[in-house]
Structure 1
Amino acid sequence: MRLGMILAALLVAQKAAASECSPIAEGSSQIVFSDWAGPELPVYLHRPSESGADSPIVFVMHGVNRDGDRYRDEWRELAEEHGFIVAVPNFGRDDFPTTASYNMGNIFDGEGNVRPREQWSFAAIEPLFDELVCGLDGRQRDYALYGHSAGGQFVHRYVAFAQAPRLRVAVAANSGWYTMPDAREFPYGWGGTAAGLVDSATALSRPLTILLGTQDTDRNDPNLRRNEAADRQGPNRLARGETFFATGHDSASAAQFDFAWRIAYAPGIAHSNAGMAAFAVPILLDAPAPRIEVKDSAASGPEN
């Protein structure tokens, strides 16, 4: 991992020296990212006026509506208040039309075969981080990752499937359903066609927080997946997040792996990225924010 970070830093330095990246202006802006094996991605940014070369970079993953500009705007005041840089890569429907192509990682092609890792949607994040560090003339060595709803699905699967050596902390908020850390068939588990794609010991020891709005319990939400496999996880997003955390704890305990996941609650918040964002900040940055209830990895997790 250390060698990978050194090589990445050298790459950033070389790109900056060759002027291969454009400076990122203060305030809100947009760039187009193309330095990866996938399609060009619009990236919505906010760089606070008080930011510097060491300011944290927080990736925010949008939901099902693919509205990265709205997500950036909902995080802008928090970025200014706490001095971090927001980056929202937008996975539009033209290139990523389905759940499988965005929030499930684009891991499999239409025939069910595993794509090369560099074509997974997860693969955009690490090279985009390099691009941002270059454009900021920064010294950042790691990043934080947050996602809400479909973006939360992206995040919890990223933690499991992505080779992400510079991921510092991840928050998956109000996911509609989960790929469980057990042997069930993908996409509802890490088994079947996905067997061998997850290093379970690494995934369970990564700093992932499942952040749940206590009022995100609408069973009739049209964007909530309802089928036998999803309903086995619970009737709504709140219950399904608790099941995911408990399953991770039990899987780690059975295999005697280190377990670093946490579960946290945003009191009174329903299905709202704007409402969840303030509760995510202390997890992402250890910054002051509203009171948040957290259960750490020593807990057995709630029963369902």
Structure 2
Amino acid sequence: MNLRISILLLLFGFTLTSCEWKSDVDDPILNQLGTGRGIVTYTGYEPLKDKPINLHFYIPEGDIKAMPIVFILPGTSRNANDYLDAWVKHFKDRKVIAIALEFPQNHYSTSEYIEGNMFKNNKALPEEQWSYSVIEAIFDHVKSETGNQSVQYNMFGHSAGAQFVHRFVTFKQNTHLNKAIAANSGWYTVPDTRIEYPYGLKNSGFSDLSTLTHLFGSNLIVALGDQDTDPNDSSLRHTPEADAQGLYRYARGEHYYSESQQISQTNSMIFNWKRVIVKGVAHDFEAMMVETADYLGL
């Protein structure tokens, strides 16, 4: 074999190796919702049609119509595929439609993601323009495409995804949400009407008792890794308002839960939340998912 042919064969083999899909999951990659794994780009929500969202999905074999649906919200890196990898790795045998939502950074800034695009230049935007509002539209889309008959969906969010989740629960009423996990959020919108939004409800437009009744009556699980205690984490926000909640994520989560519980008791409101402390875990989305997913009852 001459040198030229040897080099070409070597380059060809390298190309095949470098193009190999690296996931441990052996399901086919699909470009439409159906049994298996894939990614589809969703633009069907008219108010945000110019801001596409990538749906990284896994649908196991079985009766798709009867499967529960879980939406998974990733952290600030928007690495939805990694979150779906973790779900499939640990929960592949569960008959659940799992969809990790990627809000692309070139279409959704950090605030538009974690704070839902409720305000622009300190001006309140119509609810239909909120990033939160696309969830219900995606739920309808998934049901339409798969024939699924679920009447509710569930949510899991970690870090920035947990910020999205707990504010979604706070501000979006009359949804089809069943249960939601907010794991290791960096900071919170505490339901305190004396504290300025986004750290509290003051001047948010949602400071009345109906907001609190809805929020405290929701099935929200506040999940906290008890080792998520690094005050110097480069991705952790430090402002006077955020630091008033605590100097690290675990402390802030404890503050959020205890303050919310106290406010609900002061107003004689039903409090349906759960606090889950995951021992020995720091800021690890996969470990938090594994240790808390059962609280969704899927």
- The Cα of 1:164 is off from its aligned counterpart by 4.4
Corresponding residue for residue 139 of structure 2: 129
SS at match of 2:64: coil
Higher CA-based Rg: 2
Correspondence for 1:189 among 182, 190, 200: 200
Match of 1:159 in 2: 169
- 2:44 maps to 35
* Distance in 1 of aligned mates of 2:126 and 2:283: 34
CA shift for structure 1 position 51: 5.1
1:210 equivalent in alignment to 2:222: yes
- Asked if 1:61 is matched to 2:80, the reply is no
| CA apart distance, 1:196 | 4.3
Change (3 A) 1:54 1:78: farther
Distance 1:272 1:247 in 2: 25
Count of aligned positions: 263
Structure 2 counterpart of 1:56, one-letter code: P
Q: Is the 8 A contact 1:32 1:41 kept in 2?
A: yes
d(CA) in 2 for partners of 1:251, 1:230: 19
CA separation in 2, counterparts of 1:207 and 1:161? 14
Change in 2 beyond 3 A, CA 1:82/1:161: same
Matches within 5 A, 1:1-304: 24-36=33-45, 37-38=47-48, 39-50=51-62, 52-98=64-110, 100-110=111-121, 112-183=122-193, 184-196=195-207, 199-285=211-297
Give the residue type in structure 1 aligned to 2:175: P
Can you list the C-alpha shifts for 1:253-284, whole angstroms capped at 9, x where unaligned? 11111111110011111101111111221111
Q: Quick check: 1:185–1:194 contact (8 Å CA) kept in 2?
A: no
**Offset at residue 195 of structure 1 (A):** 4.0
Check the 8 A contact 1:55/1:85 in 2, yes or no: yes
> CA contact under 8 A between 2:32 and 2:39: conserved in structure 1?
no
Are 1:44 and 1:72, in contact at CA under 8 Å, matched by a contact in 2?
yes
Q: Which amino acid aligns with 2:232?
A: N
Tell me how far apart the structure 1 counterparts of residues 75 and 136 of structure 2 sit (CA, whole Å): 20
1:53 to partner: Cα distance: 1.2
Amino acid at match of 2:198: P
| Aligned position for 2:7 | none
1:214 positional shift: 1.3
* Comparing 223-232 and 141-150, the one that deviates more: 223-232
State the match for 2:11 in structure 1: none
CA distance in 2, matches of 1:171, 1:195: 22
Pair 68,164 (structure 1): closer, same or farther in 2 beyond 3 Å: farther
* CA distance 1:96–1:23, shift in 2 (3 Å): closer
Give the distance between the partners of 2:57 and 2:98, measured in 1 at CA. Answer: 6
Query: Could you tell me whether the CA contact under 8 Å between 1:49 and 1:80 is conserved in 2?
Result: no
C-alpha separation in 2, matches of 1:69 and 1:195: 34
d(CA) in 2 for partners of 1:168, 1:115:
26
Identity across aligned pairs (percent)? 32
Taking the aligned partners of 1:175 and 1:81, their CA distance within structure 2 comes to 28
Q: Note if contact 1:201-1:257 (Cα within 8 Å) is conserved in structure 2.
A: yes
C-alpha distance after superposition, 1:195-216 (max 9, x if no partner) = 4487111111100010011111
Aligned partner of residue 31 in structure 1, secondary structure: strand
- Give distance in 2, aligned partners of 1:245 and 1:192: 22
CA drift of 1:168 comes to 0.3
Contact 2:52 2:103 in 1 (8 A): no
TM-score (norm 2): 0.84
